[in-house]
Amino acid sequence: MAAPIELLKQVPLFERLNDKQLKTLATEFSDRSFEAGQELTAEGQGAAGFFVIESGEAKVTVDGEDRRTLGPGDYFGEIALIDGGLRTATITAVSDGRAHGLTPWLFRPLLEANAAIAWPLLEAMAARVRELEQRQ
């Protein structure tokens, strides 16, 4: 099932995409339900994609320390869409919820077939990297 367009519009990574581009992107997402206490990602493990939370909350920990709480509209795993590297944090569900996921093996062909989507995403990724660097 496609991700809701209104949910994707809340994600800074996609804020430069128009409605047509968002609709194209949304069709590649799949639903994922999660339960309180469930580990959604594990620090140091392989990455399987990008997720946007529609409902529920999840806790982000790095080296066992709580960093922040994610809720509706928040996302994680954007770097995994490109490099498939290891997860840099553990994310554990605090409550039951629902997310929409996008895997690298669906994302790459989408960008190759829709170049107009690629540039706005690259700009948003660069802005995200700068933001993360300033936090350190």
Tokens 């982000």 identify what position?
60
pLDDT in tens, 76-128: 887 777 777 778 899 999 999 999 999 888 888 888 888 888 888 888 878 87
What is the pTM for the complete model shown? 0.85
As beta bridge partners, residue 65 has 62
- Band of residue 6 on the pLDDT scale cut at 50, 70, 90: very high
Mind listing the domains of the chain with CATH numbers?
A: 5-131 (2.60.120.10)
Cα distances from 41 to residues 77, 98, 130, 134, in angstroms, run 9, 15, 23, 24
Rounded to whole angstroms, the Cα distance separating 68 from 58 reads 9
